[in-house]
Amino acid sequence: MERTLRYYGRQAAAGAVFLWLAILPAVVASPLQAQQDVVWSAQERPIYDQIKTLRSLPDDVRARTTKNIALEIRPLPASLNKLRLALYLASRATEGDFGHDTLQEVATTLAEALQQAPPEDKTTVSTSAYSELAQLVRYEGVHVSLDSPDFKAAMAKLEADDARRQQANFTLTDLEGKSWTLKDLKGKIVLVNFWATWCPPCQKEMPDLNALYDRFKDQGFVILAISDEEAGTVKPFIAERKITYPILLDPGHKVGDLFQVDGIPKSFVYNREGKLVTESIDMRTRRQFLEMLAQAGLQ
């Protein structure tokens, strides 16, 4: 599957059900696509088309374009489609390093679209939008004015999820047959990365992760990259890209569920005391990974 929004739901090798089919069916190009596509107005369609092309833009152009799109969405009449567009943009805005100002404009637009949504609108779109906005606020350092019980509940859920991740432990086997247990790695700085072969943003961040692993592994830096795919799918993919950090297999997505992973790529960094110090909600660049590692004491 082409990564739509933030790859919500799980992808199996053959056939999968995507949560975003219910949210933005016109976005997903899939045999499983729902028949009822979203109908965009003449104002909305150009914005939707711009968001679809964001990944094809150079990073500097993409940052500027993302910010402009956020501003274009705001004057639209209040509607579920406005919320769809704001949510779609928000999910794409975290795929890399596009600047705090850009993320702030995106978050402000999403918060406004949520405020304008009818109070009785408890659709999958609004539920996901509150979750997306909460992640932007908690993990990306943006600020919004939104006095909503649903938003407060989304923030509380993230806090509870992080508490569970702090206590989480697992044992998984890598492609070479070696077992890794998270709690046994105290004394090292550990980056737990959830990814998949079918995920373009995952693919994009892998060379940076590999370079950082080669640079810092002698200083006690460990990457545990976790995929719930079959070994026969993962092994040739890793061999072709010459990835050297450990690749762990998670049959049944059990560890993914333990970490409350509902979209990938997602990374969690633990310091040498085993404390979860920072995490990412999407793809990260080398500079962003370095900032994360610095919070764990690795320079």
Q: Find the CATH number of the domain harbouring 248.
A: 3.40.30.10
Q: What kind and span of H or E run contains 160?
A: helix 149-167
Half-sphere exposure of 254 (CA within 13 A, CB side): 9
Same domain, 185 and 151: no
Asked whether 79 and 18 are in contact (CB, 8 A), the reply is no
Summarised one tens digit per residue, pLDDT across range 24-77 is 433 333 323 332 478 999 999 999 999 999 999 998 899 999 999 999 999 999
Last residue of a domain, one of 138, 161, 184: 161
From 109-118, 230-239, 246-255, 266-275, the region with the lowest mean pLDDT = 109-118
Same domain, 50 and 156: yes
Please state, in angstroms and as integers, the Cα–Cα distance from residue 143 to each residue in 138, 155, 248, 295, following that order.
9, 13, 36, 21
In-domain check, residue 102 = yes
In-domain check, residue 151 = yes
Average pLDDT over residues 268-288: 96
Q: Which residues contact 212 (CB under 8 A, 6 or more apart)?
A: 221, 223, 286, 289, 290, 293
Same domain, 90 and 209: no
Per the structure, the complete domain to which residue 284 belongs is given by 169-295
Same domain, 72 and 184: no
Q: For the chain, how many structural domains are there in total?
A: 2
- Cα distance between residue 176 and residue 156, in whole Å: 39
% of the chain surpassing 70 pLDDT: 86
Same domain, 187 and 285: yes
Top pLDDT among 118 and 130 is at 130
Q: Is 220 helix (H, G, I), strand (E, B) or coil?
A: coil
- One-letter identity of residue 202: C
Q: Give pLDDT, residue 23.
A: 40
Same domain, 290 and 173: yes
% of the chain surpassing 90 pLDDT: 81
Q: What is the pTM of this model?
A: 0.82
Q: Is 12 helix (H, G, I), strand (E, B) or coil?
A: coil
Q: Give pLDDT, residue 150.
A: 92
Q: Residue 206 pLDDT > 70, yes or no? A: yes
Alpha helices in the chain (DSSP H): 20-23, 44-52, 59-73, 80-93, 100-116, 124-140, 149-167, 200-216, 231-241, 254-258, 286-295
Asked whether 87 and 23 are in contact (CB, 8 A), the reply is yes
Same domain, 117 and 156: yes
Same domain, 194 and 124: no
pLDDT band with cut points at 50, 70 and 90 for residue 122? low
Same domain, 174 and 88: no
Q: Give pLDDT, residue 121.
A: 60
Q: Residue 10 pLDDT > 90, yes or no? A: no
Same domain, 89 and 201: no
Mean pLDDT of the chain: 88
Extract the tokens encoding 127.
């539920």
Last residue of a domain, one of 128, 161, 194: 161
From 4-8, 92-96, 195-199, the region with the lowest mean pLDDT = 4-8
Q: Give pLDDT, residue 119.
A: 62
In-domain check, residue 15 = no
Asked whether 83 and 112 are in contact (CB, 8 A), the reply is no
- Cα distance between residue 165 and residue 222, in whole Å: 17
Q: Give pLDDT, residue 175.
A: 97
